[in-house]
Chains A and B, each alone.
Chain A
């Protein structure tokens, strides 16, 4: 029976109940045929080829591919860099890569990780395109750049701004991170304008450290050489809460020399890190010794106690070049500063203190390296001084591999006025008092980042209230959206450092001078202008341009040429501009000038005695150390730290830096509330919990990160996040710990204390 069905040929069976006039077989046959045909076509078109030819580029797209030497400005180190710029036949210019400049011996041709983010600084989508005038809205956190500001021409903006700057004593000049040349110009502007109210924001974190050192040597240009030009290296680094390989300037030099001292030179440098946090530096060191925050100064004295008691100090240096040693020694050797005593307040066992002190004194040259976390305290100057004195005790001052004093070249002089403006301007405390007293009612900020960097930065805090006030006139000169710009009445777009002219002096570290050019890799975008030009134009309108036109300087007075002419003039004593800057005919100019080699043991101290002065008065204040974890109201101590990828120019709107922000925690796009595991457990906090950190000054929210590497009772938060007006890659991410930090001052330097605020934690 079954045969009957199968033997039948393709006969259409019109009576199929579904109304199709086609048989199964026909249907299948046709589809099979179609499929086979399709297959054949595809096979023919896409037949397998064993070796595919290499694609070659037939149209030449690239017209020029140049390496321009300039310098970075993502942190105060200002490394020499080389920037690759590509120009297409269609006339498009693109900056594609940043690398170190091999001509710079300062960092042996290296730049740190931040330099690479320069591409995103340049191509930041949230840059200002034109000058802007505020036409409405509230200043600060509720800023809406599009609605609150209207574009105006440069002439209008400059005239308006100049017309508002009528009383010099009522003006405050804020300086964020600017080029050396722009810093010189801003200072010149203050001079020209007649105000000494110049505040350098770098002082927010360095003033106390500086002051402590100045007390000892009367200089403000000391640095840690690490390795001399002849290859003599530090043999022992005792880091006091110092982020040597993550935040301490000059970072790129520190990094390069770190590699050298650890693995390239015959005797490996030993590094011991006192730190409440298991920082990157602590993790790289040979030993991490957890300490209670704020006990660095006491520890330094305890180490001095051991060195002095056991006679391990450098008698030659002490006898020949120091003053005040006897009083200092007497004080240090008292029982209060004994290791046993200091052990109680620092959390470091007495035996360890003794051992470290002996190791330190017996490895020459040894260096005691203080950090921001050690000195941003109410007695920060004293802590810095005590730590610095250790270097003197072991004879590391002005020796190869020890402390060196940075040389600077002779710059051509600029006209002066007799106004006593120092390089760093007024102190933070002075500035805060001026503002509080209403003594100033206007400010002009040059890449200022003030509102993100001061204590009590929170909304409705004293700074927010002050800047928000409509009667406070603020002009922001900077390249991109930022929190300070959100408070501005006028915004004058500055070009980024890759579009700017200038010169950069190497900061303390190498001893020998080094100057790096700043030259535009690409023309300033839109209507942004070099800050130098803006300063010159303002000065011109204010009738003070002669302060910027030294006679026979060759500066033409054409404001467009001024930035380059100024830089060329200032550097002309030591280098010819045509040998310095890049040009089509001189593409090999390195853009780096190096001064003569450093000569050691000059001991040119700037103190009254002409010697290194050991100060001992008030050092007992260093024993006032609060203990973390104690107290019922606010039991925890808040520590802040600056991870390497915090771009120190104020903006953080850079996705490459953001997406890998915290390397120790494998996280990006935010900061974390880092807490010791046991402490977290005590407070009912688990890994990843949303938590609230509360101080008497406010509260912030964040995500908890439970770690072993933290002193119990201490909570650490990285800075650089918590932005609200910088752009899509930074706003609304993480928190700003400054919001909950209260205002206390270091007496001597007027620097705010960032570490003395106690907090409590709870789950959100």
Chain B
């Protein structure tokens, strides 16, 4: 069983937000509106934040893409009463819409603001995705329940899933999953695949030959809010 991790090189990232957009397209994530933006109702599985420090002219802005951290010790999994969110054997923190009560306790507990609540139903004609769901008997252990599309409903919480559907399909088809340092990558989550600067990597932490393991061995790395001891698996290589 793999231990999936994502490594993001902040030196290569240029804040183009291809990752956020690819995620929206891949996972059929609804767009918001100016009103929802103001009210903080819009749904983002992936966001890119800018943290500013310093004073003119010594200014420093860190641009940090943030998917779900898929923590080793996820606070959201602790607090979900109905086990709608759970950690899979391969480390991916999943979300099962069928079980979700919409109590939003996970949103309260998540240190990274990775989760969004559905404040309304989405217009059917905009979000028809006949290709989803696309699974037939996934063999990956611990997978419970369908994933949320094509018909997401109001009242449930959703978040980044490390594109588990791509990973599971690849494993079913016998394809490789994960980044390679030589550029001949296996199947990747949409954000990793979309990154034009190749700032993002995905792979198995438990495999010492994987790109992610090698990167983490060759450069200093940071995790967000490390003091929370969530042990996130989305890890950053600083500039």
List residues of A whose CB falls within 8 A of some B CB. Answer: 51-52, 54-57, 61-62, 65, 86, 88, 92, 94, 96-100, 107-108, 110-113, 115-117, 119-120, 123, 245-246, 252, 255-256, 258-260, 262-264, 278, 280-281, 283-284, 288-290, 644-645, 655-660, 663-666, 668-670, 676-678, 707-710, 712, 729, 733
Task: Decide if B130 touches A86 in the complex (CB within 8 Å).
Answer: yes
Q: Which residues of B contact A707 (CB under 8 A)?
A: 52
Task: Decide if B11 touches A263 in the complex (CB within 8 Å).
Answer: yes
Q: Which residues of A contact B199 (CB under 8 A)?
A: 259
Q: Which residues of A contact B126 (CB under 8 A)?
A: 123
Q: Which of B14, B15, B49, B146 has the most CB of A within 10 A?
A: B14
Task: Decide if B50 touches A664 in the complex (CB within 8 Å).
Answer: yes
Q: Which of A57, A100, A123, A255 contacts B197 (CB 8 A)?
A: A255
Task: Decide if A94 touches B128 in the complex (CB within 8 Å).
Answer: yes
Q: Which of B54, B56, B133 has the most CB of A within 10 A?
A: B56
A459 vs B49: C-alpha distance when bound (angstroms)? 36
Known: A86-B130, A255-B196. A119 touches B25 (CB 8 A): yes
Task: Decide if B25 touches A55 in the complex (CB within 8 Å).
Answer: no
Taking CB atoms and an 8 Å cut-off, the chain B residues in 44-66 that contact chain A are 47-50, 52, 54-57, 59-61, 63
**Residue B144 lies at the interface, judged by CB distance under 8 Å to chain A:** yes
Which A-B residue pairs are the 5 nearest by beta carbons? Answer: A259-B197, A655-B31, A113-B18, A255-B196, A116-B21
Q: How far is the CB of B215 from chain A (nearest CB, A)?
A: 10
Q: Which residues of A contact B59 (CB under 8 A)?
A: 278, 283, 288, 708-709
Q: Which residues of A contact B98 (CB under 8 A)?
A: 52
Q: Which of B24, B49, B60 contacts A666 (CB 8 A)?
A: B49
Contact size range, B: 35 or more
Task: Decide if A712 touches B56 in the complex (CB within 8 Å).
Answer: yes
Contact string against A for B residues 118-160, beta-carbon threshold 8 Å, 1 for contact and 0 otherwise: 0000000010111101111110000111100000000000000
**Residue B216 lies at the interface, judged by CB distance under 8 Å to chain A:** no
Q: Which residues of A contact B37 (CB under 8 A)?
A: 659, 668-669
Known: A56-B135, A659-B31, A660-B48. A116 touches B24 (CB 8 A): yes
**Residue B205 lies at the interface, judged by CB distance under 8 Å to chain A:** no
A666 vs B62: C-alpha distance when bound (angstroms)? 12
Residue of A nearest to B99 (CB): A52
Task: Decide if B135 touches A107 in the complex (CB within 8 Å).
Answer: no
Task: Decide if A56 touches B137 in the complex (CB within 8 Å).
Answer: yes
Taking CB atoms and an 8 Å cut-off, the chain B residues in 33-86 that contact chain A are 33-34, 37, 42, 47-50, 52, 54-57, 59-61, 63
Q: Which residues of A contact B49 (CB under 8 A)?
A: 666
List residues of B whose CB falls within 8 A of some A CB. Answer: 9, 11-12, 14-18, 20-22, 24-26, 31-34, 37, 42, 47-50, 52, 54-57, 59-61, 63, 98, 126, 128-131, 133-138, 143-146, 183, 190, 193-199
A709 vs B199: C-alpha distance when bound (angstroms)? 25
Task: Decide if B136 touches A56 in the complex (CB within 8 Å).
Answer: yes
Q: Which residues of A contact B32 (CB under 8 A)?
A: 655, 659, 668
A86 vs B145: C-alpha distance when bound (angstroms)? 24
A113 vs B63: C-alpha distance when bound (angstroms)? 15
Q: Which residues of A contact B47 (CB under 8 A)?
A: 660
Apart from A113-B16, A668-B37, A709-B61, what are 18 other A-B pairs with CB-CB below 8 Å? Answer: A54-B138, A61-B130, A99-B193, A100-B196, A111-B194, A245-B14, A278-B59, A283-B15, A656-B24, A657-B21, A659-B31, A663-B50, A664-B61, A668-B32, A676-B56, A677-B56, A708-B59, A709-B52
Q: Which residues of A contact B136 (CB under 8 A)?
A: 56-57
Q: Which of B9, B11, B22 contacts A116 (CB 8 A)?
A: B22
Q: How far is the CB of A275 from chain B (nearest CB, A)?
A: 11
Residue of A nearest to B183 (CB): A108
Q: Which of A110, A111, A259, A283 contacts B61 (CB 8 A)?
A: A283
Q: Which residues of A contact B133 (CB under 8 A)?
A: 55, 57
Q: How far is the CB of B164 from chain A (nearest CB, A)?
A: 13
Task: Decide if A57 touches B135 in the complex (CB within 8 Å).
Answer: yes
Task: Decide if A256 touches B196 in the complex (CB within 8 Å).
Answer: yes
Q: Which residues of B contact A112 (CB under 8 A)?
A: 16, 18, 196
Q: Which residues of B contact A256 (CB under 8 A)?
A: 196-198
Task: Decide if A62 touches B56 in the complex (CB within 8 Å).
Answer: no
Q: How far is the CB of A387 from chain B (nearest CB, A)?
A: 22
A116 vs B135: C-alpha distance when bound (angstroms)? 24
Q: How many A-B residue pairs have CB under 8 A?
A: 187
Task: Decide if B130 touches A54 in the complex (CB within 8 Å).
Answer: no
Known: A54-B143, A676-B56. A62 touches B130 (CB 8 A): yes
Could you list some 15 contacts between A and B, CB below 8 A? A54-B144, A54-B146, A55-B145, A55-B146, A56-B137, A57-B134, A61-B131, A86-B129, A88-B130, A99-B22, A110-B196, A245-B14, A245-B197, A668-B34, A709-B61
Residue of A nearest to B36 (CB): A659
Task: Decide if B34 touches A733 in the complex (CB within 8 Å).
Answer: yes
Q: How far is the CB of B33 from chain A (nearest CB, A)?
A: 7
Q: Which residues of A contact B196 (CB under 8 A)?
A: 100, 107, 110-113, 252, 255-256, 259
Task: Decide if B198 touches A54 in the complex (CB within 8 Å).
Answer: no
Q: Which residues of B contact A666 (CB under 8 A)?
A: 49-50
Task: Decide if B18 touches A262 in the complex (CB within 8 Å).
Answer: no
A108 vs B134: C-alpha distance when bound (angstroms)? 29
A408 vs B78: C-alpha distance when bound (angstroms)? 60
Q: Which residues of B contact A676 (CB under 8 A)?
A: 56
Task: Decide if B131 touches A644 in the complex (CB within 8 Å).
Answer: no
Q: Which residues of A contact B42 (CB under 8 A)?
A: 659
Known: A56-B137, A256-B197, A666-B50. A96 touches B129 (CB 8 A): yes
Known: A113-B17, A246-B16. A290 touches B56 (CB 8 A): yes
A707 vs B130: C-alpha distance when bound (angstroms)? 45
Q: Which of A284, A660, A712 contacts B14 (CB 8 A)?
A: A284
Q: Which residues of A contact B138 (CB under 8 A)?
A: 54
Q: Which residues of A contact B11 (CB under 8 A)?
A: 262-263
Task: Decide if B56 touches A656 in the complex (CB within 8 Å).
Answer: no
Q: Which residues of A contact B50 (CB under 8 A)?
A: 663-666
Q: Which residues of A contact B143 (CB under 8 A)?
A: 54
Q: Which residues of A contact B17 (CB under 8 A)?
A: 113, 644-645, 660, 663
Q: How far is the CB of A602 from chain B (nearest CB, A)?
A: 30
A100 vs B183: C-alpha distance when bound (angstroms)? 14
Q: How far is the CB of A109 from chain B (nearest CB, A)?
A: 9
Q: Which residues of A contact B54 (CB under 8 A)?
A: 708
Q: Which residues of B contact A255 (CB under 8 A)?
A: 14, 16, 196-197
Task: Decide if A116 touches B31 in the complex (CB within 8 Å).
Answer: no
Task: Decide if B14 touches A246 in the complex (CB within 8 Å).
Answer: yes
Q: Which residues of A contact B128 (CB under 8 A)?
A: 92, 94
Q: Which residues of B contact A658 (CB under 8 A)?
A: 31
